[in-house]
Structure 1
Amino acid sequence: MPTLDSRLDGVVGTAAKTLDRAFGMKTVADLLGHCPRRYARRGELTPIASLPVGESVTIVAEVRSVSDRPMRNRRGSLLEVVISDGNGELSLTFFNQAWRAKELRPGRRGTFSGKVGEYRRSLQLAHPAYELFDDIDTALMSAEAWARLPIPIYPATSALTSWQITKLVQHALDVLDPVPDPLPEDLRTTAGLLPLGTALERIHRPDFDEQIEPARRTLRMHEAFVLQAALLQQRQFVRAMSATSREPGELLADFDARLPFELTVDQVDVGRRIRADLSGAWPMNRLVQGEVGSGKTLVALRAMLQVAETGGQSALIAPTEVLAAQHLRSITRMLGPDLAPRLMPTLLTGQLTAAERRRAALRVASGQSLIVVGTHALLSASTTFADLGLVVVDEQHRFGVDQRDSLRAKGSSPHALVLTATPIPRTVAMTVFGDLDVSTIRSLPAGRAGIQTHVAPVAERPAWFARVWDRVAEEVAQGRQAFVVCPAIDADAGGGSGFSDDADGPPSASEPADAAPTRTRWGVVQVAELLSGHPAYGSLRVETLHGKMPAEHKDAIMQAFARGEVDVLVATTVIEVGVDVPNASTMVILEADRFGVSQLHQLRGRVGRGGVPGLCLLVTESDHGTPARARVEAVARTLDGFELAEVDLELRGEGDVLGDAQSGVRSSLRLLRVITDADMIAEAREAAERLLEDDPALLRHPALLEAIERRVGRAERAALAKN
């Protein structure tokens, strides 16, 4: 008899190819893991005389007449069957199914189910489902049960309908060998779960509604437990690897003694955990998540100093040239004139001149530089390290799994520290699933004035567009600075500015945008032009910044802004992370609905970093009630990055938890959902930890071992190893 691991072509024949093409199914387990997304009803038993049009009904009736005739306006035939329940008559129509006349003979009784339609003022059922009986009593008894029987509705395609999937699933269930249960009996008993075989039977062909939820809950726990066991096994593999122990020493003590401020409670706690990790026998794999400006870079630098104590090197990879350069300046400044020469912080980016890059690469390869900061240039095959002991990934959502892994491969089992201000959905999922050690910095350094965030819906309130620019000018008049963020460099370069054909150009910033079309496209070029003609900006110093500028030009503009020599900086998201200008008070984000929750939160974090209160204006033309508007309003509602991570998770999905996808488009989860099932996941984790502690190789739990092998394939295992 087939098992869950049996190939589908040996169970469902030629339909296996269609299942594989449509859903990537290859085994019986894949087919039975394709659960109904909802359940339909055939409808209550209804007399023909009172049938409601448009509703699904079930009727007990007798066939009175059958006729088959060719259709007038197209090829094929129409089979019409008239049925009666003794008080009224109803027609059933079947297109190109003349063969049904052999079984739907006059005098046959049965139950008929479908949606009531109307044709030429007469009621009819088109292509109804039916079941025939020999006598009316059997028909009535069966009809009542049949009407209550839930009908599974599966995710389907044009090539494979839900009812076709139903037939294949039911056939697989009929021939399936008894299913071994991977859950430990004590967990199943404590949680009140069904045996796996029973749960599969009831999720796919329940006898009544009350059977569905216990089956679904059982399968969710199975999924949680198997995935937790797989992740915990992966952690065992990591901890079986050896890493160079990096004990703290004088470097870290000297650095701490020179700090002009006290570390926050969270920074001290996270630092203590990292110190213990780096001193351990296996590689650290820790995520530090903290609000924008909470001091994650300082925590990372203290870890680098601990690694440098034993001659090890640390590599910090940042997503942009601007951020990498700023990190280097910040680290050099924090180290001071005594420590910086000893560690020789080095910048390695793609836009260095050939001579600069050779010198930097030599310092890194020889081990002279113990702290290396760079962009994707660090991933180059020509970049080698003498003793890479720590990899720090800043804003990990900007790097793929393979990129992070290629950097770690440049050392011998180096420790890994991932920093993020707003966890992306995939990271939240991995966090809940316990694949990483997680530390959180919630407290902000003293002296932060906070940020107010407002949505400016200029499509609904056109006058607010002008008010946005006036508000920026008012802040600058008080001696402060402002960012204006655009979704593009040049809106016109992408095939049109987005303005209507009869518009002269962008609406004036000093006038209400009454003439603005439904979709305005703003680029750095257009905003710079707009502000150059605004009467309030004649004396203001406005500069532009974007990713296509030469590195030296970008760096010069950012340094000028940091020195207060620029009043308004019009930029793309090149300033998204890491830019630190305490005097910047205002952030305007145009077409805010084009950005994700994480990006909006990151951008907002560029203001309110000093004693100056922050103001963030999210300008949008998206309609109220749309997902795009919901993202913008969620960011305006809270400053809590962890709450926003959950919003992002709900909007985008948890991502491919077992693979390398960064969003929820192809989630590897089936029934389980990270936010709603967090408690169940935690319960499964505790149970899996107990089981693996007692039986690490799962020698006494072969069903669980098989379930893990079945659920976590070779590609997923490789992705987990990279993480």
Structure 2
Amino acid sequence: MARTPATRPPSAQSASADTQAASKASAKASAPQLAMARLGLVRDIDLALHLPLRYEDETAITPLRQARDGQTVQVEGVVSENRVEMRGRRQLLVKLDDGTGELQLRFLNFYGSQQKAWAPGVRLRVRGELRVGFFGREMVHPTVRTVSDATPLATSLTPIYPAGAGLPQSYLRKAVEAGLRRAPLDEVLPSAVAAMLPAHWPSLRQALQQLHFPAPDASIEGLSEHSHPAWQRLQFEELLAQQLSRLQAKAERAHLQAPVLPLRTGGLHEKLLGVLPFELTGAQRRVCEEIAIDLARPQPMHRLLQGDVGSGKTVVAALSAAIAMEAGWQCALMAPTEILAEQHFRKLVGWLEPLGVKVAWLTGSLKPKAKREQLAAVASGEAQLVVGTHAVIQDQVEFARLGLALIDEQHRFGVAQRLQLRRKLEATDLEPHLLMMSATPIPRTLAMTYLADLEVSTIDELPPGRTPIVTKVFADTRREEVIERIRDEVAKGRQVYWVCPLIDETEATDEAADVAAGRNSNKRPPLDLSNVTHTHIELSDALPGFGVGLLHGRLPAAEKAEVMDRFSRGELSVLVATTVIEVGVDVPNASLMVIEHAERFGLSQLHQLRGRVGRGAVASVCVLLYASPLSDSGKQRLRAMAETTDGFEISRRDLDIRGPGEFMGSRQSGAALLRFANVGDLAEDGGEGQAMLARVQQAAAVMLKHHPAAAQRHIHRWLGQKAEYLKA
């Protein structure tokens, strides 16, 4: 079989060398080779690990007299007739006779060359769904091969691979077969780890051979549900690589030095506790103690603070910062959006400036003079606490003594941004402590595997006085009923959010163009979406005498701040917005949240938006408006929202729907870090799933302690450069 230069750089070379080789070959590469490069299929191991989406059975021929309506079958026969007809549009009709019956093949899109190639007397092998109708047995657009009496049948199930434009399945199959044959798939696991695996699991090479070319009698169900022993071997190997990389990163950090930040009696921490207008919950006190213990150690803290929407993570961050500032060190708090960063800034200024703490503000929208003043305050150490967006990690920002970095909604930052922050922190002699925060609670099993290098603190208790939120799911045909409910709420002096997914029609147009051009296969064709501008006009007309505000990401920063101020002060009764209000907005008087086209939002995002209400003593409602038809995942998300307000249950279902790569934000690296193993499925899989995760953790411990070289080879095989993403 011919070897294609774009798919066979030496496997022993580094990932960077692979990239250079692909770059040099790209100028002369064919369209399929370029398409493979876009899929990351550069090394032989990449091809070997590019597994089928599904399989087709081309190992048998079904006589037409035995074929049933609705059955997908492979039939072989001789063309008896071939003609083009006009039935509303030009159609190519080919009649096939296999000796036991006749079959009509219908092609709505065809070339003249196909009509010539499938002339009467030619033998064809076709595969497709058989339908019995007015014209007898028929297949529409089946797969067709011209064959002879001596053409052999396939000896294994035919794989159908993930592919892109310009990459035919036949080309990809040949490339994968060649890559699998050449890939270095020798056994890396030491004998002590191999002995932990079930005896019926195949070796890695055998597993890949079975998955790419399964025998005709292989269990299609086991293959599609990833319960086949070959799949289990791959899942184990991938999870092991991730666990090894995480634990390795944790061990490396143990050798780094960080400033010792002790909790001092009578210091800023106690003063802040004394001026807070509320008592801490038991969960808040517990996580504060966990963080204080970490800060007092000479090794850098690497901790995730997780808690449901409204559980009080900001005050925990403020108390942690108070410990660092009392010890004479600076703190930085970075948030993903300017609105969230400003909410933090206002709260922290209100709590800390009366205690003599200087808080700096850094965002991309600052005027040059104001930015220079803030940068100077940070560089001199005058600013003890710096709050801002990604502007905090820009090159011109220099800290005098950075001791603690706080990242809110850490999964909302791209992996590259989180790595950039780490590099900025590592530029100092001492590694600052790092506290990441997330309002998307992470299930315990996922935390044990996906976050093996992190300590996790959980606020599992909401502050007292919070009223439960009732969630209602309505079709968008009931829009007028929802507007009537809004009239009732604002007439009682309460406030309402209305969230839309798009700003204006150009976004829908741009999305349609992307879909048509195939630039983003994850996007669905655009719907006839209402947008914030039209909804703002509609609600303004429907609610005369009440203020209706408009907020979206394209507004100037000053205008956004003014709108939020007016809504917070109660001057606006309704706020029509995009998801810029997803996190950080706290208006206790808001009692109704309407989310339009809720089916287009992720489950975590819906939960975050719902958390903007229910912050006061008034009973609150969240209305999810959806447009038909709903996808299966859309139905699952809306059902989950209606059935529970528990953030941990929401996160568990979100993990089931999306998988761990997207759930943790790792797909922002450009590739999912877990391709084959779904931790959520394993966690739910009773004894077998739990046994797999326990086996992974045990094997990782053995390899790191007794076989570090084998551990490194295993990490490189499975993760390559992506291992760096796991440190972010």
TM-score for both structures, normalised by structure 2: 0.75
Q: Is the 8 A contact 2:551 2:576 kept in 1?
A: yes
How far the C-alpha of 1:492 sits from its partner, in A, is 6.1
Q: Which residue number in structure 2 is paired with residue 197 of structure 1?
A: 205
CA distance in 2, matches of 1:379, 1:365: 13
* Count of matched residue positions in the alignment of Structure 1 and Structure 2: 647
How far the C-alpha of 1:17 sits from its partner, in A, is 4.7
How far the C-alpha of 1:392 sits from its partner, in A, is 1.2
Provide Cα deviations, 1:138-159, integer angstroms capped at 9, x if missing partner.
xxxxx9xx89954444335565
Structure 2: 5+ residue runs without aligned partners?
1-5, 12-24, 86-93, 106-113, 512-525, 684-688
CA distance in 2, matches of 1:488, 1:47: 53
Q: Is the 8 A contact 2:193 2:699 kept in 1?
A: no
Asked if residue 707 in structure 1 is aligned to residue 718 in structure 2, the reply is no
Asked if residue 275 in structure 1 is aligned to residue 289 in structure 2, the reply is no
Distance 1:39 1:317, change over 3 A: same
Asked if residue 446 in structure 1 is aligned to residue 458 in structure 2, the reply is no
Asked if residue 521 in structure 1 is aligned to residue 516 in structure 2, the reply is no
Distance 1:454 1:164, change over 3 A: same
Identify the match of residue 155 of structure 1 among 131, 152, 162. 162
CA distance in 2, matches of 1:17, 1:552: 49
Aligned amino acid, residue 672 of structure 1: A
Q: Aligned with 1:182: secondary structure?
A: coil
CA distance in 1, matches of 2:347, 2:407: 16
Q: Which residue number in structure 1 is paired with residue 45 of structure 2?
A: 29
Identify the match of residue 251 of structure 1 among 268, 282, 290. 268
Distance 1:158 1:480, change over 3 A: closer
How far the C-alpha of 1:529 sits from its partner, in A, is 2.9
CA distance in 1, matches of 2:79, 2:502: 66
Q: Which residue number in structure 1 is paired with residue 723 of structure 2?
A: 717
Q: Which residue number in structure 2 is paired with residue 482 of structure 1?
A: 496
Q: Is the 8 A contact 2:715 2:723 kept in 1?
A: no
How far the C-alpha of 1:630 sits from its partner, in A, is 4.8
Distance 1:251 1:223, change over 3 A: same
Identify the match of residue 310 of structure 1 among 309, 327, 348. 327
The two structures, once aligned, show a CA RMSD in angstroms of: 4.7
Aligned amino acid, residue 601 of structure 2: F
Q: Is the 8 A contact 1:623 1:629 kept in 2?
A: no
How far the C-alpha of 1:677 sits from its partner, in A, is 3.0
Distance 1:672 1:567, change over 3 A: same
Distance 1:20 1:10, change over 3 A: farther
Q: Aligned with 1:677: secondary structure?
A: helix
How far the C-alpha of 1:294 sits from its partner, in A, is 0.1
Map 1:530-545 onto structure 2 (within 5 A): 530-534=538-542, 537-545=543-551
Q: Which residue number in structure 2 is paired with residue 385 of structure 1?
A: 399
Q: Aligned with 2:561: secondary structure?
A: helix
Distance 1:683 1:19, change over 3 A: farther
Provide Cα deviations, 1:234-284, integer angstroms capped at 9, x if missing partner.
222233322222222122233335545432232223222222222233322
Asked if residue 414 in structure 1 is aligned to residue 421 in structure 2, the reply is no
Asked if residue 182 in structure 1 is aligned to residue 189 in structure 2, the reply is yes
Provide Cα deviations, 1:288-336, integer angstroms capped at 9, x if missing partner.
2211110010111111112112211111122333333332221233347
Q: Which residue number in structure 2 is paired with residue 670 of structure 1?
A: 675
Q: Is the 8 A contact 1:317 1:375 kept in 2?
A: yes
How far the C-alpha of 1:386 sits from its partner, in A, is 0.7
Distance 1:687 1:96, change over 3 A: farther
Distance 1:416 1:541, change over 3 A: same
Identify the match of residue 570 of structure 2 among 555, 564, 567. 564
Percentage of pairs with the same residue:
36
Aligned amino acid, residue 201 of structure 1: Q
CA distance in 1, matches of 2:452, 2:588: 36
Q: Is the 8 A contact 1:593 1:622 kept in 2?
A: no
Distance 1:659 1:483, change over 3 A: closer
Q: Which residue number in structure 2 is paired with residue 329 of structure 1?
A: 346
Provide Cα deviations, 1:665-688, integer angstroms capped at 9, x if missing partner.
842433222321344663254124
CA distance in 2, matches of 1:389, 1:149: 60
Q: Is the 8 A contact 2:243 2:450 kept in 1?
A: no
Q: Aligned with 2:470: secondary structure?
A: strand
Q: Aligned with 1:39: secondary structure?
A: strand
CA distance in 2, matches of 1:486, 1:689: 46
Q: Which residue number in structure 2 is paired with residue 468 of structure 1?
A: 482
CA distance in 2, matches of 1:418, 1:312: 18
CA distance in 1, matches of 2:250, 2:676: 24
Asked if residue 363 in structure 1 is aligned to residue 377 in structure 2, the reply is yes
Aligned amino acid, residue 360 of structure 2: T
Q: Is the 8 A contact 1:229 1:685 kept in 2?
A: no
Q: Aligned with 1:35: secondary structure?
A: coil
How far the C-alpha of 1:80 sits from its partner, in A, is 12
Q: Is the 8 A contact 1:590 1:618 kept in 2?
A: yes
Deviates more, 1:279-288 or 1:290-299: 279-288
CA distance in 2, matches of 1:430, 1:414: 24
Distance 1:7 1:480, change over 3 A: closer
Distance 1:158 1:689, change over 3 A: closer
CA distance in 2, matches of 1:479, 1:409: 50
How far the C-alpha of 1:226 sits from its partner, in A, is 1.9
Asked if residue 577 in structure 1 is aligned to residue 583 in structure 2, the reply is yes
Asked if residue 400 in structure 1 is aligned to residue 414 in structure 2, the reply is yes
How far the C-alpha of 1:451 sits from its partner, in A, is 0.9
Q: Is the 8 A contact 2:540 2:547 kept in 1?
A: no
Distance 1:454 1:187, change over 3 A: farther
CA distance in 1, matches of 2:530, 2:419: 37
Q: Which residue number in structure 1 is paired with residue 253 of structure 2?
A: 238
Deviates more, 1:683-692 or 1:165-174: 165-174
Q: Which residue number in structure 2 is paired with residue 221 of structure 1?
A: 236
- Higher-Rg structure is 1
How far the C-alpha of 1:385 sits from its partner, in A, is 1.2
Aligned amino acid, residue 49 of structure 2: G
Distance 1:96 1:643, change over 3 A: farther
CA distance in 1, matches of 2:52, 2:299: 43
Q: Is the 8 A contact 2:446 2:680 kept in 1?
A: no
Deviates more, 1:409-418 or 1:624-633: 624-633
Asked if residue 617 in structure 1 is aligned to residue 623 in structure 2, the reply is yes
Structure 1: 5+ residue runs without aligned partners?
1-5, 74-78, 105-111, 134-142, 499-516
Q: Is the 8 A contact 1:472 1:482 kept in 2?
A: yes
Q: Which residue number in structure 2 is paired with residue 503 of structure 1?
A: none
